[in-house]
């Protein structure tokens, strides 16, 4: 029997762990089966994908359906049924029950984990008499689905997804987990052994799919200790609840070197009624304290989530949520649109909350009682502005200054949105040069124009550039370098020796700045004017930029 397992991922670097679980379950019961895994992306040309999937002419297709791939898969499954009218189409995954396939497609939908399917499913598969629906026992044991050869095959150059537990301890009303309470944890010793096998292959990214990884602090800390002690440079990603850190956990995280851990943190809102409406139980004061502690470590990449369009969230309350989240200085601040997923408690309250959502996946919100379509649209584009200007390493110094001086960052980004709309800049390339040009235009309207431009120049050079573009009113970099060449002695440790002097000046960039800029970016007791040296090597950290030193020179 030939079986094709298919997933359509959001991008090439992603992988679909479901395919590997299904492969192992099929191989254990159908030892003679020839099983092929095929991973495509939603950005692949459709017709070429169809040809590739159909080429093997298998005896059965098994398909993993997620919200982001649903539209692509629906089209693919309809066409596969036309090409293979008698071949079983088996669909599993979170989106499987809501693909809304035409009746003639005749697909079989699997609810629950493949490990929990009854033996009758495999008997029916071989006999060619599959029913329309099967249910897998959610309490069935599970184990890591990967084989050693996968890491040089289907998983090569891809993120590795791993679950040490299934289920979620919470019941947020917008999530499918709300209907499936309880958490099933793998035995800790087994988890550590499996992680050791994975890390032996030195993957670039290991993504834990456990929902609320730190819900069991002692267990989470044990796994973190194990991971941090392993050799290699694998970045480990975790979904985290911000209020569930213990003092012991934070103390340990301060010892983790940069580039090893990455946290995705669902804050969602700081508006109490909105959090209550989605059954999101969180201690906001403790969450904020923990987030500030994590940011201060400067070693863990922090991805903080807000949700646009929550019930009871008005424009003004969202403004407060954004300002409070922005003030925390996460490395990435995402504002995702609320999705009204079929089968969730939130969807059951659509009429009460006035929820208007897209009819097709991903079911994004279009309006509700508190935000009409125009207001929600404005906040969506606001989020795109923050994504373009804030979620990168381009303007760290500028936004650090804002966090100290701007009482209402929301208003600044709204002003930036208005400027981009007026100039029709949406759709343009989001390069640092293009974005800094927009900010330079905005600087002309500000009372702090001189410092604003200096911060843009500083950020530009801190990102490794060796010139300053015209829109930033270029600095006399060559003249400053020549001045420093003549003013510094031939032997100036720790910067250079007589033997390394020429190479040092060739590779470094020198720029003169006034006291206000120097103090703003963190140099203590700076001179009235000083020369900053932007060294060729980067600082270590989660947002690497050039290493910068203030030279022992009073002026330039």
Q: Would you say residue 76 lies in a domain?
A: yes
Structure tokens of 139?
A: 């309490």
Number of alpha helices (DSSP H) and beta strands (DSSP E) in the chain: 20, 19
First to last CA, the chain: 78
User: Does 77 map to a domain?
Assistant: yes
Work out the number of other CB atoms within 10 angstroms of the CB of residue 489: 9
Please give the tally of structural domains in the chain: 4
Structure tokens, 231? 């050799």
Centroid of chain to Cα 93: 21
User: In this structure, are 267 and 413 located in the same domain?
Assistant: no
365-367 and 356-357 beta bridge pairing: antiparallel
To 10 degrees, what angle do helices 409-422 and 373-390 make? 100
Phi/psi region, residue 281 (left: phi>0; alpha: psi -120 to 50; beta: rest), is: beta
221 and 282, same domain (yes or no): yes
Give yes or no: residues 166 and 259 share one domain.
yes
CA–CA distance, 312 with 37 (Å, rounded to integer) = 45
Separation of alpha carbons 63 and 4, rounded Å = 8
* Beta pairing partners, 548: 534
415, 522: one domain: no
**Residue 141 corresponds to which tokens in the numbers above?**
């044991």
**Is the domain of 428 the same as that of 333?**
no
Give dist(CA 70, CA 94) in Å, integer.
Answer: 10
- The values of phi and psi at residue 91, to 5°, are -120, 130
Alpha-carbon gap, residue 328 to 287, rounded angstroms: 11
Is 69 inside a domain boundary? yes
Is residue 140 assigned to a domain?
no
Whether the Cβ atoms of residue 33 and residue 90 lie closer than 8 Å to each other? no
Last residue of one domain, picked from the residues 473, 507, 528: 473
What is the spatial order of strands in the sheet that 332-337 belongs to?
160-162, 205-208, 235-240, 261-268, 301-308, 332-337
Write down which residue in 360, 387, 414 finishes a domain. Answer: 387
Question: Quick one: tokens of 498?
Answer: 């007589």
Q: Give every CB contact of residue 215 below 8 A, 6+ residues apart in sequence.
A: 169, 170, 183, 241, 244
State the Cα–Cα distance between residues 170 and 176, nearest whole angstrom.
11
Strand partners, 205: 235
Whether 152 is covered by a domain: the verdict is no
In a domain, 149, yes or no: no
User: Which of 412, 205, 200, 433 lies closest to 322, judged by CA?
Assistant: 412
CB 100 within 8 A of CB 127: no
pLDDT attached to residue 556: 40
Q: 364 forms bridges with which residues in the sheet?
A: 339
14, 80: one domain:
yes
The answer to whether position 148 is within a domain reads no
Token duo for residue 173: 């009303």
Does one domain contain both 269 and 377?
yes
Give the DSSP letter string of 470-496.
GGG----HHHHHHHHHHHS-S-BTTTB
Do 42 and 9 contact (CB within 8 A), yes or no? yes
Strand partners, 307: 336
Q: Give the pair of three-digit tokens for residue 349.
A: 């309250």
pLDDT tens string, the chain, 556 residues long: the values are 999 999 999 999 999 999 999 999 999 999 999 999 999 999 999 999 999 999 999 999 999 999 999 999 999 999 999 999 999 999 999 889 999 899 899 999 999 999 999 999 999 999 999 999 999 999 999 999 999 999 999 999 999 999 999 998 888 999 988 767 789 999 999 999 999 999 999 999 999 999 999 999 999 999 999 999 999 999 999 999 999 999 999 999 999 999 899 999 999 999 999 999 999 989 999 999 999 999 999 999 999 999 999 999 999 999 999 999 999 999 999 999 999 999 999 999 999 999 999 999 999 999 999 999 999 999 999 999 999 999 999 999 999 999 999 899 999 999 999 999 888 777 777 899 999 999 999 999 899 999 999 999 999 999 999 999 999 998 999 999 999 999 999 998 888 899 999 999 999 999 999 999 999 999 999 999 999 999 999 988 888 899 999 997 544 4
Q: Let me know if residue 506 belongs to a domain.
A: yes
List the CATH number of the domain containing 88: 3.40.50.2300
**Cβ neighbours of 60 (radius 10 Å):** 23
Interacting residues of 488 by C-beta distance below 8 A, sequence separation 6+: 495, 551, 552, 553
Based on the fold, state whether residues 339 and 357 are members of the same structural domain: yes
My answer on whether 379 and 442 are in the same domain is no
CA–CA dist 258, 199 (Å, integer): 18
Which of 407, 438, 473 terminates a domain? The answer is 473
Quote the CA–CA distance of 111 and 98 in Å, as a whole number: 11
CA-to-CA distance for 101 and 346, rounded, in angstroms? 24
Same domain, 280 and 192: yes
Q: Which long-range contacts (CB under 8 A, 24 or more apart) does 550-553 make?
A: 550/518, 550/523, 550/526, 551/484, 551/488, 551/495, 551/510, 552/488, 552/492, 553/484, 553/487, 553/488
Tokens 């071949």 belong to: 87
The residues, any chain, with a CB within 8 Å of residue 77's CB and separated by 6 or more, are 63, 89, 91, 99, 101, 105, 107
C-beta separation of 316 from 274 below 8 A = no
Q: What is the C-alpha to C-alpha distance for residues 388 and 154, in angstroms, rounded to an integer?
A: 33
Q: Where are the alpha helices (DSSP H) in 128-246?
A: 188-199, 217-229
Is residue 73 within 8 A of residue 109, CB to CB? The reply is: no
Same domain, 359 and 376: yes
Same domain, 517 and 541: yes
Measured CA to CA, the distance from residue 91 to residue 61 in angstroms comes to 8
Structural domain for 458, as ranges? 392-473
């Amino acid at each position: 029997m030939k079986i094709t397992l298919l997933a359509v991922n959001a991008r090439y670097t992603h992988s679909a762990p479901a395919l590997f679980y299904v492969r192992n379950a099929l191989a254990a019961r159908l030892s003679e089966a020839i099983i092929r895994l095929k991973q495509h992306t939603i950005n692949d040309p459709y017709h070429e994908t169809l040809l590739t999937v159909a080429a093997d002419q298998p005896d059965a297709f098994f398909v993993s359906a997620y919200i982001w791939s649903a539209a692509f898969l629906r089209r693919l499954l309809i066409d596969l049924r036309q090409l293979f009218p008698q071949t079983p189409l088996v669909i599993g995954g979170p989106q499987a029950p809501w693909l809304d396939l035409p009746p003639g497609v005749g697909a079989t939908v699997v609810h629950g984990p493949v490990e929990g399917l009854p033996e009758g499913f495999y008997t029916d598969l071989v006999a060619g008499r599959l029913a329309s629906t099967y249910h897998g026992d959610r309490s069935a044991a599970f184990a890591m689905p990967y084989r050693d050869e996968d890491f040089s095959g289907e998983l090569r150059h891809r993120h590795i997804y791993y679950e040490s537990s299934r289920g979620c301890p919470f019941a947020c009303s917008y999530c499918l987990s709300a209907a499936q309470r309880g958490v099933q944890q793998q035995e800790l010793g087994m988890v550590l052994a499996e992680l050791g096998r994975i890390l032996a292959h030195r993957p670039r990214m290991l993504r834990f799919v456990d929902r609320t990884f730190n819900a069991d602090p002692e267990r989470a800390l044990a796994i973190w200790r194990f991971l941090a002690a392993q050799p290699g440079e694998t970045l480990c990603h975790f979904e985290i609840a911000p209020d569930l850190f213990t003092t012991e956990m934070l103390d340990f995280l301060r010892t983790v070197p940069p580039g090893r851990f990455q946290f995705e943190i669902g804050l969602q809102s700081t508006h109490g009624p909105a959090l209550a409406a989605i059954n999101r139980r969180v201690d906001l004061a403790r969450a904020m304290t923990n987030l500030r502690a994590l940011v201060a470590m400067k070693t863990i990449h922090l991805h903080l989530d807000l949700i646009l369009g929550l019930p009871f969230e008005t424009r003004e309350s969202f403004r407060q949520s954004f300002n409070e989240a922005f003030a925390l200085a996460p490395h990435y601040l995402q504002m995702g649109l609320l999705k009204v997923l079929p089968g969730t408690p939130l969807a059951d309250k659509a009429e009460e909350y006035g929820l208007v959502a897209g009819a097709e996946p991903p079911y994004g919100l279009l309006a509700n009682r508190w935000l009409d379509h125009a207001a929600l649209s404005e906040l969506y584009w606001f989020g795109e502005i923050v994504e373009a200007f804030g979620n990168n390493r381009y303007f760290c110094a500028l936004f650090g200054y804002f966090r100290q001086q701007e009482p209402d960052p929301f208003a600044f980004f709204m002003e930036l949105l208005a400027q981009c709309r007026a100039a029709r800049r949406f759709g343009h390339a989001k390069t640092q040069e293009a974005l800094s040009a927009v900010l330079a235009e905005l600087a002309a309207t500000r009372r702090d124009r001189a410092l604003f431009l200096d911060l843009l120049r500083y950020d530009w050079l801190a990102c490794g550039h060796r010139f300053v573009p015209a829109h930033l009113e270029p600095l006399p970099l060559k003249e400053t370098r020549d001045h420093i060449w003549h003013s510094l002695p031939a032997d100036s440790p720790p910067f250079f020796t007589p033997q390394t002097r020429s190479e040092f000046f060739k590779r470094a960039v020198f720029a003169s700045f006034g006291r206000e800029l120097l103090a703003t970016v963190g140099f203590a007791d700076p001179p009235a004017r000083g020369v900053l040296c932007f060294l060729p090597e980067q600082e270590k950290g989660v947002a690497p930029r050039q290493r910068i030193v203030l030279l022992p020179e009073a002026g330039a």
